[in-house]
Amino acid sequence: MSRTPAVHFGPGRLGLGLIVDVLLETKRYDVYLIGAPGREPGEYGTYFLRFTDPAFGLRERLVAWAGNPKDLSDLPEPLLCELRGHGPMLFTAALGATNVTTARSLIAAMLSLRPEQAPTALLACENEPYELYDELQSTFPHVDVRHCVVDRICAWDPRPRSQPGRRILAHDVSEWVIPQATSPALEGLRDVKDVLLLAGDADAYRDRKLWVVNGIHLVLATIARREGVDLLPLTGHRERTFREHAKPLAMAMLETAERVYDLPADEHFADERVRAFCEVPDSATRILSKRYLRRDLRPFAHRLNTRISESARAARECDVDVDPFVWAFREVVEAIRRSDSFLDVSEIDPATGRLRRCKQPPQVNANIDREVEELFATALDWAPEPDAMLLKRRISSALATWRED
Contact in structure between 34 and 74 (CB atoms under 8 Å): no
Identify residue 46 by its one-letter amino acid code.
T
Please choose, from the candidates 48, 10, 252, the residue with its C-alpha nearest in 3D space to the C-alpha of residue 132: 10
Helical packing angle, 385-400 and 323-337, nearest 10°:
10
Q: What is the 8-class DSSP label of residue 296?
A: B
Contact in structure between 273 and 220 (CB atoms under 8 Å): no
Contact in structure between 167 and 159 (CB atoms under 8 Å): yes
Q: What is the pTM of this model?
A: 0.94
How many contiguous H segments (helices) and E segments (strands) does the chain have? 16, 17
Per-residue pLDDT, 161: 77
- Block means of pLDDT (10 residues each) for the chain, 405 residues, are 93 97 98 93 93 92 97 97 98 94 96 98 95 96 98 90 88 97 97 96 97 97 94 95 97 98 96 95 93 97 97 98 98 94 92 87 94 98 98 96 75
Per-residue pLDDT, 209: 97
Rounded Cα distance, 235 and 108, in Å: 46
Per-residue pLDDT, 124: 98
Note the maximum CA span of the chain.
Answer: 71
Q: Facing residues of 154 across strands? A: 170
Per-residue pLDDT, 339: 83
Burial class (CB within 10 angstroms; exposed 0-12, middle 13-18, buried 19+) of 160: exposed
Please choose, from the candidates 142, 212, 126, 211, the residue with its C-alpha nearest in 3D space to the C-alpha of residue 177: 126
Would you tell me how many other CB atoms lie within 10 Å of the CB of residue 319? 10
Per-residue pLDDT, 404: 66
Rounded Cα distance, 39 and 316, in Å: 48
